[in-house]
Amino acid sequence: MVAVSALPAAADDVEVHPNWEDMPEVDTIQRILNVTAQGSLVCCMLAVLIGGGVLGLGRLTGSMGSGSRAAGYIFGGGGGALIIAVSAKMVAWLIAPSASHPA
């Protein structure tokens, strides 16, 4: 449980500000996006940990196939965590008003 409580500090909350006129339940949608992002980050970290365990077990048993599979888990989990951590900044950048095009 310690690892799960330390993870939210690594990723920013997703702040989406849609321009939908008086859309109901914006706070609920925001909460769903935040929970989904944090759950996905936890799953990516679990993939990295499981991949590390499979890699260690594969080295002990001499299994080349498990080492290849473990590398996929490690790189996939790490890449997914990176995308999740950066996606909030990317969304904010995409929806930010451009300085060269006045509104």
pTM strictly above 0.75: no
Nearest alpha carbon to residue 38 among 96, 88, 73, 76: 88
Q: Where are the domains of the chain?
A: 32-96
Calculated CA dihedral for residues 76, 82, 86, 90, nearest 10 degrees: -30
Measured between alpha carbons, how far is residue 57 from residues 10, 60, 63 in Å?
Answer: 29, 5, 8
- pLDDT value at residue 49: 92
* Chain segment 41-95, per-residue pLDDT in tens: 899 999 999 988 888 888 888 877 777 888 888 898 988 888 888 887 887 777 7
Residue in the block written with tokens 């498990």: 66
* Chain segment 4-13, per-residue pLDDT in tens: 444 445 556 6
